[in-house]
Structure 1
Amino acid sequence: MELQQMRYVVAVAETANFTRAAERCRVVQSALSHQIARLERELGARLFDRTSRRVRLTPAGEAFLPAARQALDAAERASAEVAAVSGELRGRLAIGTIPTVTAVDLASALKSFQVRHPHVRITLRAGSSDELAERVRQGDLDIAFLGLPPSVEPRGVRGRALARGELVAIVAPGHPLADMADVDLHRLSKEVFVDYPAGTAARAQSDEAFAAAGVTREVAFEVTNADLVARLVRLGLGIGMMPAAFVTELPNVHVVELRDPPTRVEHVIWSRLRPSPAAAAFLHALDIPEDQTSE
């Protein structure tokens, strides 16, 4: 069994197509197909069901894929560790972030890191705090930036709280609340809301504050990204709640400060295992000690 065969299997699984997988791996399709067939003979099981219309993993393929990814990650990690001994930083740096992170200028930090370490392959994925934390625990991401309610701490990872901030309401220009100051949650609860899906960390920040104030509200529009929240608010379909440090990036909405605002805490997290050389270097660039732990 060879690492290259595992790379081919992963590529086919992710593209669901032998031709696209071969293009990704920069080989001719016949060579890729031959190596996968050779691996299947060695394993004594088919990894893919192939038809003229689709390619999908068999149960054996589903079982093989996670182990293949782990083997490839381990091989890349071993190569990066050896290179680090000689002073060269390489390998991958997989980062996840919520779209509304403000405690770190992530784009500038990534640019500076790339200039300093051009041989590191950087990837960035945006998502919800819950999803990103799980991907760090599973090893899919090296580092993630989250936004959580004050009552929640990341579990099963190492991490550090970066900043604590308040939420503000955002409303359409001309909304009755636009010219009001010192609005409380009781008044706000009379409005229709645009918010994140129930059960997510982003939604919990507001839900917990309204519950503590003893009021309920109607969330008519549940969406998964900040830009869509702002667009629906801008069109007057509801009002939203956003971190005060983030709303300056949203055009054509009016900000309403609150008397009893919800709060959120931004965290950076990484694996409980020793960070890769690239991840350790990125944390160091952010002046974050690696030995701080959230349990």
Structure 2
Amino acid sequence: MNILQLIYVLEVAKYHNVSKAASRLYLSQSALSQQISRLEKELGYELFSRASHGFYLTERGRQFCDAAQPAVDSWQQFQRSIGFENSRCKKNLRIAMGSRVYSNGLFQDIASFFDNLPDLEVTFITEAGFDYLAGLKDGSIDLALDRLPPHSLMNDCPPLDCCNLIGESQCVLMSPMDPRSTMEYISPRELQGSAMITGLEGSIEDRTLKETFKNHGISPGRVYRSDGIHTVINLIRSGKGVAIGPRSFASYYGVAAVPLNPPGLVYLSFICPADRSSSPEIVMFRKYLLDICSHRF
């Protein structure tokens, strides 16, 4: 149980309607319903009676809300007082986000989480070529939501606290018109001499691609590089080359995705420096994302 779940219950109780409460909370209806059901399971009793005309508190639900409202009021007052005592300087959380956040439909959930923390200013860094490992090392970002590169590329990283959120098949992304797009699988060796599309020279994407090709003893043909995901996708769609990426990119960006063989999972991970992993906002945010991903994916 966490303070966000208390807020969710109170909003549903106020409107007797999950759709209206979800709109107020900037959540999807399904995400809010999952949070309520999860809390009821944890408590061992129902908070609401569900009917065609709305959601209404049970007797235990009313008792729960009577106890929850002062707790929420105190939490919000605490947030305000902390901001005031710090000369109203809001705390800033800087998050690097890879494209997998969007292709897996997580961004709206992330934005909704921070809507309920008004005293925390959030900066999202979304450039495709941004080296988040360097950012974590020099302190310019606080955490990253992205895939981890191969261990061989992480030798000079600070100690990291990482947890996996979503695992996806690693695929070769290509134009739907590419003759190979109907293949069930494709091996790395079948990419020998293919034109490849990746991030800027020296970026995590570029170094990961080079490592993959080196491990399989193959060489690409022409290499197109860009620091913008939309340019990368346009190059793929137009048939200029192929890229390696997650299956979720296929439906989100309108490209074909053929799984690599041998198959393997690549994870969207929650990544932060070990010395910051116990800060309250990071602990709460990590738990929130783990709860969502464990029930949705």
TM-score (norm 1): 0.58
**Which residue is equivalent to 1:100?**
100
Name the aligned partner's letter for residue 158 of structure 2. G
1:129–1:225: structure 2 CA closer, same or farther, 3 Å change rule? closer
Q: CA deviation at 1:208?
A: 2.7
- Partner of residue 182 from structure 2, selected from 179, 182, 185: 179
Q: CA deviation at 1:185?
A: 1.8
In the alignment, the residues of structure 1 paired with residue 195 and residue 104 of structure 2 have an alpha-carbon distance, to the nearest angstrom, of 32
Runs (5+) with no aligned partner, structure 1: 1-78, 289-295
In the alignment, the residues of structure 1 paired with residue 197 and residue 252 of structure 2 have an alpha-carbon distance, to the nearest angstrom, of 18
For residues 123-151 of structure 1, what are the alpha-carbon distances to aligned partners after superposition, in whole Å with 9 as ceiling and x for unaligned?
A: 21113586222223333222212323343
Q: Does 1:269 align with 2:236?
A: no
User: Which SS does the other structure have where 1:183 is aligned?
Assistant: coil
Q: CA deviation at 1:249?
A: 0.6
**Which residue is equivalent to 1:24?**
none
User: Which SS does the other structure have where 1:190 is aligned?
Assistant: coil
**Which residue is equivalent to 2:138?**
138
Runs (5+) with no aligned partner, structure 2: 1-77, 292-297
Identical-pair percentage:
19
CA contact (8 A) 1:149 1:265 kept: no
Q: CA deviation at 1:276?
A: 4.7
User: Which SS does the other structure have where 1:285 is aligned?
Assistant: helix
Q: Does 1:247 align with 2:246?
A: no
- Partner of residue 259 from structure 2, selected from 257, 260, 267: 257
Name the aligned partner's letter for residue 115 of structure 2. V
For residues 28-68 of structure 1, what are the alpha-carbon distances to aligned partners after superposition, in whole Å with 9 as ceiling and x for unaligned?
A: xxxxxxxxxxxxxxxxxxxxxxxxxxxxxxxxxxxxxxxxx
Q: CA deviation at 1:226?
A: 2.5
**Which residue is equivalent to 1:209?**
212
1:254–1:283: structure 2 CA closer, same or farther, 3 Å change rule? closer
**Which residue is equivalent to 2:158?**
156
In the alignment, the residues of structure 2 paired with residue 83 and residue 103 of structure 1 have an alpha-carbon distance, to the nearest angstrom, of 36
Q: Does 1:125 align with 2:115?
A: no
The number of equivalent residue pairs is: 208
CA contact (8 A) 2:136 2:273 kept: yes
- Partner of residue 203 from structure 2, selected from 200, 205, 211: 200
CA contact (8 A) 1:161 1:265 kept: no
**Which residue is equivalent to 1:231?**
234
**Which residue is equivalent to 1:281?**
284
For residues 232-290 of structure 1, what are the alpha-carbon distances to aligned partners after superposition, in whole Å with 9 as ceiling and x for unaligned?
A: 11112112222123332112x222233235764433222343455433432343359xx
Q: CA deviation at 1:116?
A: 1.9
**Which residue is equivalent to 1:83?**
82
CA contact (8 A) 1:150 1:264 kept: no
User: Which SS does the other structure have where 2:111 is aligned?
Assistant: helix
1:106–1:129: structure 2 CA closer, same or farther, 3 Å change rule? farther
Name the aligned partner's letter for residue 148 of structure 1. L
CA contact (8 A) 2:129 2:227 kept: no
Q: CA deviation at 1:156?
A: 0.9
Which runs of structure 2 are paired with 1:37-116 in the superposition (5 Å)?
Answer: 83=82, 91-101=91-101, 106-116=106-116
RMSD value, Cα: 3.6
In the alignment, the residues of structure 2 paired with residue 94 and residue 130 of structure 1 have an alpha-carbon distance, to the nearest angstrom, of 13
- Relative to its length, the structure with more helix (as a share) is 2
Q: CA deviation at 1:80?
A: 7.8
**Which residue is equivalent to 2:17?**
none
In the alignment, the residues of structure 2 paired with residue 262 and residue 223 of structure 1 have an alpha-carbon distance, to the nearest angstrom, of 25
